[in-house]
């Protein structure tokens, strides 16, 4: 019995030992699990703490494609980022992407990876074109009620007869003007006095032979339209004010009196420096010029200008709706509108309330111009027409005035010189003027070809070549009549140009047929 008890005791000890080992193992596992969980919790807590202490990880960058310059964009960025709304949304920067051409805007807006939130500045025709391509996000009065009301209530329906907002058929907002402008020219009185030139007040005066000075001295500066929205709008105003045929005749002779410049900034700089006496300018460039040179004065051709709304809109691939909505709301408040009045920007806001802010009350000069601009009775400008042939207008000018500019200047210079020297009489001179300005396409053709020109590079290249050849042949033919011994290359090859003088008569017949 004793032996049996001892055996049983030994077995129980072994069982107890095994049970203890098992319990210890379980306990170790539980402790390890708890410790690991605590470690994970602590790591997560540290990550959360790091996130909350590093706001850059949550920062929002607003992306805006624009044609505005950095002076303007820097001012608006600094003011907006300081607002409580921007701070609450963690908006820490604005990425302004510059694009000067319609195709440049299209590439940015249609690519979702570019994440463009807003389009800002460039004129109604540009924004209408972007909308025609389906690249703008409309603001619905029901689903986007707060934003729709904020914009709609602050932007008037029209100013001086020009629409300040664009709506889709369903009532949603496509774009709204954020600033306004008039279009005219800036003169340098010292230059005009030096060259005994009169101060012009109308567009057609700038096409007069009076403003042809010499082969080396140019009276006017004009911008190449692919590189300047404001100068393009001036050319569209002239075409609509005087009609297609007469308008192109005026533009051609203006170009012959001018130097051609790569953009509106260079065009303005030429009159400020005194390189020319007259520059095509939007109003705020005129104001800036007056500030830089007291000899300068901005002139609005009475009855021959328009008020233009400069739009802002949400883009179809908007990446951060709340951030975009906050910026749209801010720039339409009186305080946001007052940023346009900053010295060096010198723009006119769309909302008169900007002038009643403390900052706005410091700019009585701009308030005076604002009221003068609204009081000016301009032309009945057709915005739909301006959009429907925008590309063909831009590049017809580029190919027939800017590209063959030296030849155009030489031809016009010979015409004017022979008139002044009484080598030709005024009747013959006027006949040559008529032939010099005849356009190489009709208004309807410019509309019919516009979309294809924008979207089909091969078609555009063909038209570019046709227009250049047309212009070169036209100018060479007139030059050959005036200087018969002249020989140069034209559409027919290297032959005496006077042989092709019959081209002048052909152009006249074609023009009459097109009419």
Residue whose structure tokens are 């509309």: 447
Beta strands in 168-256 (DSSP E): 173-188, 220-223
Please give the mean pLDDT across all residues of the chain.
Answer: 86
- 157-177 pLDDT tens trace: 999 888 999 999 999 999 999
28 contacts 35 by C-beta, under 8 angstroms: no
Q: What's the pLDDT score for residue 35? A: 39
Q: Is the pLDDT of residue 32 over 70?
A: no
Q: DSSP letters of 386-424?
A: HHHTHHHHHHHHIIIIITTHHHHHHHHHHHHHHHHTTSS
- 272-320 pLDDT tens trace: 999 999 999 999 999 999 999 999 999 999 889 999 899 999 999 999 9
Q: What's the pLDDT score for residue 42? A: 35
The span from the CA of 503 to the CA of 515, in Å, is: 18
- 62-110 pLDDT tens trace: 999 999 999 999 999 999 999 999 999 999 999 999 998 888 999 999 9
* Buried b or exposed e, range 63-81, using 16+ CB within 10 angstroms: bbbbbbeeebbebbbebbe
Lowest model confidence (mean pLDDT) among 180-194, 407-421, 473-487: 473-487
| Token pair recorded at residue 280 | 């095509």
**pLDDT bucket at 491, cuts 50 / 70 / 90:** very low
Q: Which residues pair with 95 in a beta bridge?
A: 63
Neighbours of 515 (CB within 10 A): 8
Q: What's the pLDDT score for residue 25? A: 39
* Buried b or exposed e, range 152-181, using 16+ CB within 10 angstroms: bebbbeebbebbbbbbeeeebbbbbbbbbb
Distances (CA, A) of 206 to 29, 359, 419: 94, 38, 18
SS3 content of the chain, % helix, strand, coil (to 5): 60, 15, 25
- 236-281 pLDDT tens trace: 999 999 999 999 999 999 999 999 999 999 999 999 999 999 999 9
Q: Is 235 helix (H, G, I), strand (E, B) or coil?
A: helix
Distances (CA, A) of 215 to 124, 152, 210, 256, 380: 37, 52, 14, 10, 37
Q: Is the pLDDT of residue 39 over 60?
A: no
The count of C-alpha atoms lying within 13 angstroms of the C-alpha of 92, restricted to the half-sphere facing its C-beta, is 8
Task: Give backbone dihedrals phi and psi of 82, rounded to 5 degrees, phi first.
Answer: -85, -5
The span from the CA of 106 to the CA of 175, in Å, is: 16
Q: Is the pLDDT of residue 37 over 70?
A: no
**pLDDT bucket at 29, cuts 50 / 70 / 90:** very low
Beta strands in 90-172 (DSSP E): 91-98, 118-120, 136-137, 158-159, 162-163, 165-167
173 contacts 139 by C-beta, under 8 angstroms: yes
* Strand 348-349, strand 258-261: pairing: unpaired
Q: Measured in Å, how far apart are the chain's first and last C-alpha atoms?
A: 137
Helix 390-397 × helix 457-482 angle, to 10°? 40
Q: What's the pLDDT score for residue 56? A: 55
Q: Is 1 helix (H, G, I), strand (E, B) or coil?
A: coil
Distances (CA, A) of 78 to 83, 349, 357: 9, 18, 18
DSSP state of 319: S
Q: Which of 462, 411, 463 is nearest to 437 (CA)?
A: 411
197 contacts 210 by C-beta, under 8 angstroms: yes
- 197-212 pLDDT tens trace: 999 999 999 999 999 9
Q: What is the dihedral of CA 120, 124, 125, 129, to 10 degrees?
A: 60
Q: Which of 342, 350, 345 is nearest to 312 (CA)?
A: 350
- Taking residues 443-459, what's their average pLDDT? 97
- Higher pLDDT pick, 102 / 389: 389
Residue whose structure tokens are 């470690």: 39
Which pTM was predicted?
0.77
Distances (CA, A) of 447 to 87, 234, 352, 380, 510: 47, 19, 36, 19, 19
264 contacts 67 by C-beta, under 8 angstroms: no
500 contacts 492 by C-beta, under 8 angstroms: yes
Neighbours of 290 (CB within 10 A): 17
206 contacts 222 by C-beta, under 8 angstroms: no
């Amino acid at each position: 019995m004793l032996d049996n008890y001892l055996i049983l005791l030994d077995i129980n000890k072994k069982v107890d030992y095994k049970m203890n080992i098992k319990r210890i193992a379980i306990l170790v596992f539980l402790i390890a699990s708890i410790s690991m969980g605590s470690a994970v919790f602590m790591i997560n807590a540290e990550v959360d703490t790091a996130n909350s202490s590093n706001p850059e990880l949550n920062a929002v960058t607003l992306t805006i494609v624009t044609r505005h310059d950095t002076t303007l964009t820097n001012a608006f960025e600094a003011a907006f980022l300081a607002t409580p709304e921007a701070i609450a949304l963690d908006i820490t920067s604005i990425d302004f992407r510059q694009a000067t051409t319609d195709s440049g805007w299209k590439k940015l807006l249609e690519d979702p990876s570019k994440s463009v939130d807003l389009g800002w500045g460039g004129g109604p025709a540009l924004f209408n074109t972007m909308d025609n391509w389906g690249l703008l996000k409309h603001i619905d009065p029901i689903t986007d009620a707060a934003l729709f009301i904020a914009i709609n209530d602050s932007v008037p329906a029209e100013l001086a007869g020009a629409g300040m907002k664009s709506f889709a058929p369903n009532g949603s907002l496509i774009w709204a003007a954020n600033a306004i402008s008039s279009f005219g020219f800036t003169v340098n009185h010292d230059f005009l006095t030096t060259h005994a030139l009169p101060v012009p007040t109308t567009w057609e005066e700038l096409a007069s032979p009076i403003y042809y000075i010499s082969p080396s001295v140019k009276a006017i500066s004009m911008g190449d339209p692919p590189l300047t929205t404001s100068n393009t709008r001036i050319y569209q105003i002239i075409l609509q004010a005087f009609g297609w045929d007469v308008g192109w005749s005026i533009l051609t002779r203006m170009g012959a009196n001018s130097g051609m410049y790569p953009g509106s900034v260079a065009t303005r700089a030429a009159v400020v420096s005194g390189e020319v006496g007259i520059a095509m300018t939007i109003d705020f460039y005129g104001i800036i010029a007056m500030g830089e040179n007291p000899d300068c004065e901005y002139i609005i051709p009475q009855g021959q200008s328009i008020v233009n709304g400069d739009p802002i809109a949400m883009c179809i691939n908007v990446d951060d709706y709340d951030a975009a909505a906050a910026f749209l709301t801010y720039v339409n408040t009186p305080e946001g509108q007052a940023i346009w009045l900053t010295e060096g920007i010198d723009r006119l806001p769309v909302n008169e309330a900007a002038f009643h802010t403390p900052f706005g009350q410091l700019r009585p000069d701009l308030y005076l111009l604002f009221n003068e601009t609204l009081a000016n009775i301009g032309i009945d400008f057709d915005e739909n027409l301006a959009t429907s042939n925008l590309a063909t207008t831009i590049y017809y000018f580029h190919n027939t005035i800017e590209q063959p500019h030296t030849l155009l200047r030489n031809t016009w210079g010979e015409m004017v010189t022979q008139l002044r020297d009484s080598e030709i009489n005024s009747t013959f001179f006027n006949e040559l003027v008529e032939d010099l300005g005849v356009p190489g396409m009709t208004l309807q053709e410019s509309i019919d070809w516009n979309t294809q020109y924008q979207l089909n590079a091969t078609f555009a290249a063909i038209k570019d070549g046709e227009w250049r050849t047309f212009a070169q042949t036209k100018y060479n033919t007139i030059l050959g009549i005036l200087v018969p011994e002249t020989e140069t290359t034209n559409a027919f090859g290297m032959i005496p140009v006077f042989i092709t003088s019959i081209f002048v008569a052909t152009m006249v017949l074609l023009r009459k047929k097109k009419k």
